[in-house]
Chain A
Amino acid sequence: MRISSLTYFTASLPSMQDNQSQIARLSEQISSGQRMLSAKDDPLSAEKAMQLSSRIAVRDQYLANQQKAGLALDYENTILTAMDKTLTDARALLTQSNGGDTQPVRDQHAEMLKNMYQQLKDLANNRDTEGHFIFAGFNTQLGSANPPFQHTQVYPAIAASGSTNYIGTPYGSLTNPQGVRSINVDNGRSVQVSDNLDSVLNAGLNGGVATGSTTDVLQALDQIAITLHDTSLTTTQVDTAVNTAMNALTATLDRMGGIERRVAAATLEVNDVKKTTDSLQLLEQNSLSDLTQVDKAAAIIEMQSRQTSLQAAQQAYAQTSKLSLFSYM
């Protein structure tokens, strides 16, 4: 075929340009580690990669939420265990107490019960790292001078102990009846991470198990210490009071157990969800990197072969451009 000089001279240009642009592209891929430099490079994979990235981002957040939920539950569990221990200790002490004890023994028991009362009240009014009372429901705005469980200790004075005043979110006052907080741990799945102790410590007052001051555990502890300290009472009167206090402690421990079991179950659930989230996220991250990461070995090999063909094209140009009939005339 007849060929024009223009065609002849420019024939190797497209090949050189193509090789050069491919080399530039490959080096960009290798240095960025990304196979697709923009979505148009592979629209289908890019679409999948975007969906995966979004899902991974959501799962990242769920993992953070799960961690937060786990921490809150662990913290609550620690406090509940301490309260449980205090209540159990108090009950154990009372099983050793009876009206027949000498006054010094009774006074010693009274003093120990006073401390347990104080400990229990402090635990019920525990505050988290941000200074919020953890058992005040939604009323986190309460100041440190205004704890949710307010009870004035009468002991060592000899008088009747008053009932506990609770100023947190009252049990049953909201559509979310306990005023407890939940955290989203997965799509459409949330875990309750706090509890309302109103119904545990103070059940008599607000829609709880039974009525009567015996279920108000702070009042009961204060009252039994006063009773043991009171020298004017008969053995029978003391025994009856000890029994009443034991009943109150047992009932409170029962209700406390319910809450502790809930916390344990919630902790299990969070751990379970976390495992699923972790493995799903791993799968998604693997698919994402399969989609988006460049195969460096293949890219480097291709780069070398491109360089070879670029050199060949350049050499071909250099050789053929010298040829001209005019050189021989």
Chain B
Amino acid sequence: MASGILGIGISGLNAAQAGIRTTQNNISNVNTAGYHRQETVYSTQPPSFTGAGWFGNGVAIESVQRRYSQFLDNEVLRDQTQLSRHETYATQATQVDKLLSDSNSGLSDSLNAFFNAANEVANDPTSTAARQTLLASGNNLTGRVNNLYDTLQQQVDDGNKAVASLSTQINTSARQIATLNQSIAQLEAQNGQPANDLRDQRDQAVADLNKLVNVNTVQQSTGEFNVFIGSGQALVSGSQANQFNAPVADANDTFNLSPAPLLPQLNVSGAGVTLGSSQISGGELGGWLAERDAVLKPALAGLNRIAVAIGAEVNRVQNGGAYYDSATATMKAGGDFFSSAVAQTGATSSRIGVNFTSNSLANDNYTATYDGTNYTLTRASDGASAVVAAGTEVSLNGVAQGFSLSAGTPAPAAGDSWSLIFRDYAHTMSVQLSNIDQIAAAASTASGPGDNSNARALAALQTTGILDNGGTTFSGAYTQVVSNSAALASEADLNSKAFSSLTAQAKDAQQSVSGVNLDEEAANLIRFQQAYQAAAKAISVANTLFDSILAIVR
């Protein structure tokens, strides 16, 4: 009975010590990411039966459990992955927006400057200064176009690097989770107690992974997590982790961009599963893919379309005019101002026109051959071809290419052919003229150097609807490109703000259950300290009982 008294006291001491230990652990981990506060769970020892009834035998330490709410933790994960996505999206879209809308890097100013210079040549066709300004502003315009396009291409490249780097990070994270799965399953099977700290580590690993790419987790009865990605592909199942291959080129890129945009590819039991922005909807990876599809690709395509339109139209006007060659003192027929977007091949003297529809202009090269009635268009990248009449939009394999041909002038002969050089024209566009004499300001070789009619026609291109079937000017089309990226960047900003506050709220809710409160721990510390003191006192009482008995014997 006496050992019972001591035993009960000792169980109290142990229990209080365990409580203090857990409290200390909580205090120490107040700033540990992913830590869930722990609690010591107590129960009563099995009581002893006497004739007088059941006597308690002290306290037993049942377990140490972490305060974890799967619902709240999942809520954080869900909001966090969207926050990462929208933040990444917003950062990238903001870059595009700044680039396009800034007056120092955007196209508007140099476009206006070019046409203002054309007006000055029209006002004074024999002025060397005006001609020099036009040539210089042409160089400036192509420089701007090249620079904008190259910077956007650079962003595609940045995106490709990010996809590759994220694939590698996801692989590491997946392996880590698989390893933790294995340890947790083993430890919990051996001891029958929850492996709190390993579970915390794994939850944190999942949270980190979830910032990279949105994942779904399903807990198994063994305590292992299965992690799914994309449209249900297993990334981690138990102790097995699937790995991402090196990113692969997007086979269905309708924009046919260069550099080719890369997509992540998951190796599921030896078979490569390519995941696009429709499958990966969250995390940094989702942000990169979505921004590239919605902002970057249309910006590149839109810019190239404007560049092709400027090149084709300015060259068309210039080729229709004439200039005074001061070296030979004769009038000569005008030539290309910018590098050709539409070039004659072979001996034809006929020039073919290109009209731009409201569809996005495909980023490709074509050859057009006249058969006496219609034109046969053949795409360079895959050889797809179609026969079209002048004025009908070219469509290959059911995809509208964004342009139609207008009948050549003078009328072409059967067999005449031309090449359309649209692919990355904005990257290669340059001024073709070297001599200011060659600016064709005059209408025809029959007139003289003072004729400004063709320069007026050139200047009038600024206010002429050319794109969208003649409904949109060059600057109008550029405004469309800018507003598309601006609207999406602004939306991404709003979304990241929204998800930032949602994530904060979810974290607060999760922390209210699982976070450490130092004041609470301080109170616990005192509670357990007092419990310890009381238990010690009980032992001391038991001790005096012994002493009394021993004194009787003595």
Contacts and interface: CB of A to CB of B under 8 A. Distances in A.
Interface of A: 1-8, 14, 38-44, 46-47, 50-51, 53-54, 57-58, 60-61, 64-65, 68-69, 130, 132, 136-141, 169, 173-176, 179, 181-184, 187-188, 190, 324-326, 329
Given A40-B493, A141-B324, A182-B452, A60 B116 contact: yes
Contacts of A324: 518-519, 522
The 7 closest A-B pairs by CB, nearest first: A4-B515, A138-B448, A39-B486, A39-B101, A140-B450, A40-B489, A325-B522
A187 B463 contact: yes
Interface of B: 30-31, 37, 93-94, 97-98, 100-102, 108, 112, 115-116, 119-120, 122-127, 324, 326, 329, 442-444, 446-453, 456, 459-460, 462-463, 473, 475-476, 478-479, 482-483, 485-487, 489-490, 493, 504, 507-508, 511-520, 522-523, 525-526
B449 A140 contact: yes
B108 A53 contact: yes
A2 B450 contact: no
A329 B460 contact: no
A324 B127 CA distance: 82
Contact of B443 (A130, A136, A175): A175
B443 A137 contact: no
23 contacts: A2-B520, A4-B37, A8-B517, A38-B97, A40-B97, A40-B486, A43-B486, A43-B487, A44-B483, A47-B486, A51-B476, A61-B115, A64-B116, A64-B123, A68-B124, A138-B447, A138-B449, A174-B446, A179-B448, A181-B452, A182-B456, A325-B518, A326-B522
B486 A38 contact: yes
B490 to A, nearest CB: 4
A140 B526 contact: no
Given A1-B512, A5-B517, A58-B462, A176 B486 contact: no
Most chain A beta-carbon contacts within 10 A, residue among B30, B93, B493, B517: B517
A90 to B, nearest CB: 30
A13 B264 CA distance: 37
B517 A174 contact: no
Which interface residue of A61, A65, A139, A140 has the most chain B CB atoms within 10 A?
A61
B191 to A, nearest CB: 28
Contact of A6 (B449, B516, B526): B516
A4 B487 contact: no
B450 A138 contact: yes
Contacts of A51: 475-476, 479
Contacts of B447: 138, 169, 174, 176, 179
Given A138-B450, A176-B447, 7 more contacts: A3-B512, A38-B489, A54-B112, A176-B443, A176-B451, A325-B522, A329-B522
B459 A4 contact: no
Contact of A54 (B102, B475, B485, B522): B475
Nearest to A13: B504
A169 B442 CA distance: 13
Nearest to B475: A54
B511 A4 contact: yes
A65 B102 CA distance: 28
Contacts of B37: 4
B77 to A, nearest CB: 18
B519 A68 contact: no
A4 B479 contact: no
Q: Which of B119, B459, B485 is packed against the most chain A CB atoms within 10 Å?
A: B119
Nearest to B522: A325
Nearest to B473: A54
A211 to B, nearest CB: 26
B122 A184 contact: yes
A138 B445 CA distance: 11
Nearest to B501: A14
Contact of A38 (B101, B123, B514): B101
Given A43-B486, A140-B450, A6 B511 contact: yes
A194 B64 CA distance: 100
Contacts of B493: 40
Contacts of A14: 504
A6 B122 contact: no
A3 B517 contact: yes
A69 B517 CA distance: 81
B112 A68 contact: no
B108 A61 contact: no
Given A51-B476, A325-B518, A46 B486 contact: yes
Question: Which of B102, B127, B447 has the most A CB atoms < 10 Å from its CB?
Answer: B447
A65 to B, nearest CB: 6
A93 B515 CA distance: 114
B101 A64 contact: no
Nearest to A174: B447
A137 B452 CA distance: 11
A7 B512 contact: yes
Identify which of A41, A139, A141, A326 gathers the most chain B CB atoms within 10 Å of its CB: A141
B497 to A, nearest CB: 10
A125 to B, nearest CB: 15
B112 A58 contact: yes
A88 B37 CA distance: 111
Contacts of A173: 446
A207 B449 CA distance: 24
B98 A38 contact: yes
Given A4-B516, A50-B479, A325-B523, A137 B448 contact: yes
B291 to A, nearest CB: 13
B126 A130 contact: yes
A140 B127 CA distance: 11
Contacts of B473: 54
Contacts of B513: 2
B127 A130 contact: yes
Contact of B119 (A64, A139, A182): A64
Contacts of B94: 38, 40
Given A4-B511, A46-B483, A40 B93 contact: yes
Contact of A184 (B124, B326, B460, B516): B460
B519 A325 contact: yes
A279 B490 CA distance: 34
Nearest to A5: B518
A138 B442 contact: yes
Contact of B123 (A5, A139, A183): A183
A124 B278 CA distance: 76
B96 to A, nearest CB: 9
A4 B507 CA distance: 10
A139 B329 CA distance: 11
A121 to B, nearest CB: 21
A8 to B, nearest CB: 7
Contacts of A68: 123-124
A52 B381 CA distance: 40
Contacts of B507: 7
Contacts of B486: 38-40, 43, 46-47
Given A39-B101, A65-B119, A190-B456, A181 B476 contact: no
Contacts of A140: 126, 448-450
Nearest to A67: B123
Given A65-B123, A326-B518, A47 B482 contact: yes
A289 to B, nearest CB: 15
B451 A39 contact: no
A65 B459 CA distance: 11
A182 to B, nearest CB: 7
A190 B442 CA distance: 16
B479 A54 contact: yes
Interface centre among A44, A58, A69, A187 (most CB of B within 10 A): A58
